[in-house]
Chain A
Amino acid sequence: MTTIAVKRPGEAKLKDLFKPGTVGKYTVKNRIKYGACCVSNYNGRDGTITPRELARVRVIAGTGCGLITNQGAYPDPWGEGKAYFRQVAIHDDKFLPQFEMIARYIHDAGAMAMQQILHAGRYGGIDLGYCIQPSVVPQTLPHFRPPREMTKEQIAVTVKQHADAARRAIRAGFDATEITSFMGYLLANFNSRFTNQRTDEYGGSVQNRGRFMRELIDAIKQATPDNPLSVRLNGAELMDKWGGNTQDESFELMQQAVDCGVDMISVTVGWQEAPESSFGRDVAPGYWNFLSEKAKKMFPNTLVAFGNRLPDPAMADQCVRDNIFDYWEVCRPLLADPEMIHKAAEDRMEEVRPCIGSLNCLSRLFRDLPYTCTMNPMLGHEVEPEYHVTEATEKKRVMVIGAGPAGMEAAITARKRGHSVTVFDKADKIGGNLAAYAANDLARPADLQSVIDYYGVMAKKLGVEVRLNTEANAKFMRSILHEYDACIVAAGARTDLDSFKYMPGSETLIDALEVAHGKKTVGKRVVMIGGGMIGLTISEFLQKAGHEVTVVEKDKRVGGDIMPTFKWRHTAWVDELGIKTICSAQLLKVTADGATVKTAKGEEILIPCDNVIVSSPRRANHDLFYEFQWMIDELHGGGDATVPRGLDAAIQEGYKLGVRI
């Protein structure tokens, strides 16, 4: 009997992305490579793979990618190559059983399995108090260790360790291996002029600097002659001003790798210490494609993989069609939604939880915490049954107060479990304060708006009733008494104008949220009270629109509540836009002349202005808890309505309520 494979509707649309390919002797079912771009930090301190990691890998295996790269494992027994607190090790056969399980999970899902070997070099030695590099070039980031120069003997040993690790990966059942310079690891340290100042045959010319890489490729190819090898190499280091490689030199190094017979070049961008963004929310999708295009033109007979800041399958499909790359290398969007490839294949892209490039994952990673995702509350909790969406034993009628991220997340999760769910919001659209934040965002408003769009689509698809223009209060609750079994208060937070109640001129203060929502306009000269996320975002927007903004912050610094990996972006905008900041200061009074603030030194400063906007302090809208506590069986709260924080906390808490209610 002949079986005919039926293409799913999205596969027919994105036919170049979903067409099969080959890597070496292996057939790959589509042109999607799961990139090992994030170390999870879910594992043991000694490099052993944990059940938490294995549960996570099962999800990765099921993403639908044709080629899956398992996260980078360090190859040396001392941990000189270990960059992350709970990074996986592959320096000993004792680790084989878990790697065998991972390879099996990937194969069972019909994908090709690749193991990355990651020696972090300049960023390594996390448990040792030092790192090894080709030369002693001091660190530029405080969280890395002082360097030691590698001897030639150490170089030889390191090359052998990589070959042994590759051999071990293949023995475990992997089909291919990968070595990586991304983003400034040992391979990059040898390749780069910035960190390689050796005067022996490993330093100096590009040819000499590439010697270590060529030796690695030769050794791994000899150790695993039948298995493909991928090399991740910078198309741009973004370290030019620090004396790093130019783009031309980067491509010369790629040429060396190609000449050595490497099977795939994975083009990457940036070093961790580069002074500009490579894939944050402020970089437009597709921005770096030109690097991949150049690689593909230079090396038409070598496979090229690429995916830096390219989160969209439709864009990736076009790139494959245009010969910009052979394989779309994707990771972070699949952290946000592990089902994205399947949804693309089924032409259900509107149902994808979008990766918004908040880099929450990396903010946590660099604080030695397991990575999590702003958009995907399940990430890292796959092993815990309590986090899974299961059918509710008792179906309830659930009301959710507030159509912001916390409320909508709780609503769709509860609905998936079989509860009947109604969301109430006083506004005329869903999104809550996130909509206002998106409207003022200088990075990419579309990213944040996509979160709201996603919730709108899912609510409709799942049959969550949304009642807008409906304010929940005690009178309203009396009108619907006993219609619901459970109530989730996710009414967000408000600006606490009451804290200025007795201040002269308090009646003139303007609520930042009113400005953000477009309900109030302000004059040319503005004072913003509060330099946190909300205050800065609105200030940046206003300043860019031609207003003259002065931010007054009570703490020593602005941006205290902003995600670490994006805080720099706001502080840079403050500088670039010329926003004045006065820290350690409090508002004393507002008069016709302007705002008077008092600094920590006791100095009083008059700031002439037309309006004073207040963004801080914020206060949780938890009044409803007290009003409703005798009116409904179950009463829960989440998101800013309990403690004002950010988007990630809202979504995480909304989800937790949804799976447990």
Chain B
Amino acid sequence: MTTTLTPPAPAVTPSAPARRRFRLIRHSLALAARSLTKTRRTPEQLLDVTLQPVIFVVIFVYLLGGAVAGSQHAYLQFLLPAIMVQTAMFASTAIGVNLNTDIKKGVFDRFRSLPIARSAPLIGAVVGDVIRFVVAMVVLLGFGTALGFRFGNGLLLGLTACLVVLVFSFCLSWTSVLIGMLVREPGAVQGISFLIMFPLTFGTNMMVPTDTLPGWLQAWVKLNPVTDVMAAARGLMLGGPVAGPVTSTLLWSLGLLAVFAPLAVRAYRRRT
């Protein structure tokens, strides 16, 4: 048995597939389509992104609006862009939990045994999850509009704000993917994700103006990239400075993607 470890000229694959280009993109899209089909078949997975924004709006606007902004209506204008960012960020934690659950089932073993890039199943899952952000935004804007929220800056810039938030959340998803790859149990993934998301989302000027905060918290708020994302959303939706916060948001997005996507793929490859 020791003589033949490297037989010459391997046989031609019987069904040699046509060499086709853009394999990573095609494979990722096929897997994203799988995610979408799964979401369509089990719409209850969207419960968090449909109910959560509504609940947060109700709680914050009616609980705090009078005290913080003097009127619920004025506070809704101030708060809704920030809630959009917060909802998208919370929604981005689900992917780590889902992947962590999925990976234990045999279907990921099947993907691993196929001649596709290791990153394709992860990219597919992240892209497929964009639907969750879109649903969350549509619900939030619909509910907000019913309560009296208006894009003060025109529809086009309002939608641009949504797009900016979407890009940021998409890139932020990769942190959740990484946690999902590193941690053993889905419950732990959820816990760790929220531990990270809470200071990021609430440690901002989301609910109150920065200058009302104690000094140390002001320092954190100014450092926190999510503050810029919320400022970008407010600027685009309501008016105000745009160029600075939007640039900062996009740079942060790029940075998150560049750091966490490769780390997540590496962790996936190492996970057995």
Chains A and B are bound partners: no
Residue ranges of B at the interface with A (Cβ–Cβ < 8 Å): none
